[in-house]
Amino acid sequence: MLLINIDHVGIAVHDLEAALAEYDRQYRVHPMHREVVESQGVEEAMIAVGGSHIQLLAPLAEDSPVGKFLEKRGEGLHHIAYAVADIEAALAHLRTEGVRLIDEEPRIGGGGARIAFVHPKSLAGTLIELVESP
Ligand code: CMX
Ligand code: CO
């Protein structure tokens, strides 16, 4: 299993417009991509930083993963996403190692990428997303 790079770092926010305005004011950066991903219950904005991205995430509903996270912990770091070449092989490997998966099969995420989440209780309280770009 090879982690190619950090595809993005996900940050949960209450208000996407307000967060983007602050990124612009403080760092003069703008989103290259915005998308509502109904299947994940989020509206997301991708800001390119070097070879990677910051993914700002605002919930579409209170009972969505990001909605629950905000209620429990407030705004902040939500997940780290690693790019992998073969997501099926990566999931098969983690399954063999007894790692607790959230997604047994890849789903379609933002930008049409195939994604899968690994439970934060599996490794240092960190929610991990695997991404295979199209
Ligand atoms: N990072 C670290 N820990 C987290 C977490 C996160 N993002 N989200 C929840 N947890 C912890 C909680 O604090 C809680 O810990 P304790 O038991 O110690 O209190 C535990 O996990 C269970 O949390 P919960 O509030 O009961 O939430 P659920 O179990 O219902 O859901 C999770 C947690 C990770 C399974 C769910 O958020 C999930 O399925 N996430 C994957 C999908 C997702 O996050 N989509 C949005 C991003 C989309 C994208 O990147 O494109
Ligand atoms: Co993500």
> Is 75 part of the annotated catalytic residue set?
no
Dist. CA 8 → ligand 2 center (Å): 7
What DSSP designation does 109 have? -
- Closest-CA residue, ligand 1 atom 21, reads 120
Overall domain count for the chain: 1
Helical (H) or strand (E) element with 93: helix 87-96
Query: Which among 11, 33, 17, 39 has a CA at the least distance from the CA of 115?
Result: 39
Of 43, 44, 53, 132, the catalytic one is: 44
Contacts for 33 with CB less than 8 Å, ≥ 6 apart: 45, 46, 110, 111
d(CA 35, CA 125): 27
How much is the pLDDT for 129?
98
How much is the pLDDT for 47?
98
How much is the pLDDT for 134?
86
Per-residue pLDDT of the chain (134 residues; tens, 9 = 90+): 789 999 999 999 999 999 999 999 999 999 999 999 999 999 999 999 999 999 999 999 999 999 999 999 999 999 999 999 999 999 999 999 999 999 999 999 988 999 999 999 999 999 999 999 98
Helical (H) or strand (E) element with 95: helix 87-96
**Predicted TM-score (pTM) of this structure:** 0.97
Query: Which among 65, 62, 90 has a CA at the least distance from the CA of 79?
Result: 65
Strands (E), the chain: 5-12, 33-37, 42-49, 52-59, 76-83, 107-108, 114-118, 128-132
Query: Which among 46, 50, 51 has a CA at the least distance from the CA of 19?
Result: 46
> Is 17 part of the annotated catalytic residue set?
no
Q: CATH number, domain at 83?
A: 3.10.180.10
Ligand nearest to the CA of 127: 1
- List all residues whose CB is within 6 A of at least one atom of ligand 1: 10, 37, 40, 42, 44, 55, 57, 65-66, 68-69, 72, 78-79, 102, 109-110, 117, 119-120, 125, 127, 129
Residue type, 44: E
How much is the pLDDT for 1?
72
d(CA 7, CA 46): 11
Instruction: Centre a 10 Å sphere on the Cβ of residue 1 and count the other Cβ atoms it contains.
Output: 14
Dist. CA 28 → ligand 2 center (Å): 22
d(CA 41, CA 99): 25
Structural domain boundaries enclosing 59: 3-132
